[in-house]
Amino acid sequence: MKQMKKSDWVARQCFKIILVLCSVIFLLNVFWPDQGKSDVENRPLAQFPTLSQHFLNDLDSYFSDQFIGRNFLLNANYVLKKTEGIKEIDGVYLGKGRLIQQSEPYDEQIVSKNMDALNAFYQKYPLNTTLMIVPTAQSIEKDRLPAFVVTQEEQLDSIYAKIGEGIANVDLRPILNEHKNEDIYYKTDHHWTSLGAKYGYEGMFQSEPQCTVYPLTSDFQGTLASKTGSPFLKDSIDLYVPNNMPDYVVTYGSDQHKSRTMYDQDAIHTKDKYQVFLGPNQGMVKIESNNESDKRLVIFKDSYANSLIQFLIPQYRTITIIDPRYYYDDIDKVMKSDLITDVLVCYNYSNFVSDSTLSDVLQSAG
């Protein structure tokens, strides 16, 4: 009998507390000012819906997007999952002391398409052509990954086997593995650091660039921190400015606006601080330098190349940077009008095996 009363007490109290709690949270949600966007999730948040066929659905998204304490609850979820022994949240591995993005699955069809397009492009423009596929942290930071995660070794080998004669291949595995205990990838972001990119440069030119390092911020929580809700890890961003950096002008393709630096200092006040390197993703960016070089480079790249470019500026008279994911113009015109002498394809492994826009742009040549 006593047991019964005890359980009744728990039941009644539980009901009262949760009813009050839920009602209070409801009222708070109603009166709390709405947010326009989420820095943590890097996206606009749903706003109060207008009357339409989807009103109730939209109301649902609005309520969960604007839910009070949402960011705190996302952080709490990370702590919970980590405590449970879960080693992966939303495609991000919870590694030792860092977050490591899971690579996209290797898509043989896309890889073949990209490689065929590159080989055909070389046939059309037999210039000094280099392919640099940067292994991601999942491949290099094996020791920091959860046990039994599959890496990218075989897949990289099979990509390299598809490279046509005449195209130089930069296999960064040896040099990156040599430095694998340094911070060559951000702990909280899916990109490599300036230090990593410096090793990338070394792998490409077989010489070490002489640079001055400028620490920019030590308060960077990148995309992987957002995806997992990890509240504790933070990264530093350093700029590596080559000692022989010439004067140069950067022209951004979207609005043709010009800048005398590739570093967008304003980015450190935003969420995605990696944008300090050449700003947000753009279809085409051009860099013209005041140096003695007679080489003119075109780069087909994803965002990994953005931090590599700081090392490349002294080496080339002009650099034309094309991000095939956002590029819809005539590539032949660029090759001719920019008097291109060198071609670099620089992608991270994950994008190269899953994104076929490179082949679309290269194939449009002709």
Interface contacts to other proteins, rule CB under 8 A: 3, 6-15, 17-19, 22-23, 25-26, 29, 40-44, 53, 56-57, 59-60, 63-65, 67, 70, 73-74, 76-77, 80, 84-88, 90, 146-150, 190, 223, 226-227, 229, 271-272, 280-281
Could you tell me where the beta strands, DSSP code E, fall in 6-116? 37-38, 43-44, 88-89, 92-94, 99-101
Least distance in angstroms from the C-beta of 289 to other proteins: 28
Q: Give dist(CA 262, CA 287) in Å, integer.
A: 8
Q: Angle at Cα 137 formed by Cα 133 and Cα 141, nearest 5°?
A: 125
Least distance in angstroms from the C-beta of 17 to other proteins: 6
Q: Give dist(CA 259, CA 325) in Å, integer.
A: 23
Least distance in angstroms from the C-beta of 11 to other proteins: 3
Least distance in angstroms from the C-beta of 46 to other proteins: 10
Closest to 88 (Cα-Cα) out of 34, 148, 139, 36: 148
Least distance in angstroms from the C-beta of 242 to other proteins: 28
Closest to 40 (Cα-Cα) out of 222, 257, 239: 222
CB closer to other proteins, 239 vs 267:
267
CB closer to other proteins, 8 vs 182:
8
Least distance in angstroms from the C-beta of 59 to other proteins: 7
Closest to 238 (Cα-Cα) out of 277, 207, 280: 277
Give, in order, the Cα–Cα distances in Å from 324 to each of 169, 327, 328, 362. 20, 5, 8, 9
CB closer to other proteins, 251 vs 281:
281
Q: Give dist(CA 345, CA 305) in Å, integer.
A: 9
CB closer to other proteins, 193 vs 230:
230
Q: What is the DSSP letter of 5?
A: H
Pairing label, strands 318-322, 296-301: parallel
CB closer to other proteins, 82 vs 179:
82
Q: Backbone dihedral region of 166: left (phi > 0), alpha (psi from -120 to 50 degrees) or beta? A: left
CB closer to other proteins, 121 vs 352:
352
Least distance in angstroms from the C-beta of 342 to other proteins: 28
CB closer to other proteins, 149 vs 195:
149
Least distance in angstroms from the C-beta of 334 to other proteins: 24
Length of the chain, in residues: 366
Pairing label, strands 258-259, 296-301: unpaired
CB closer to other proteins, 7 vs 207:
7
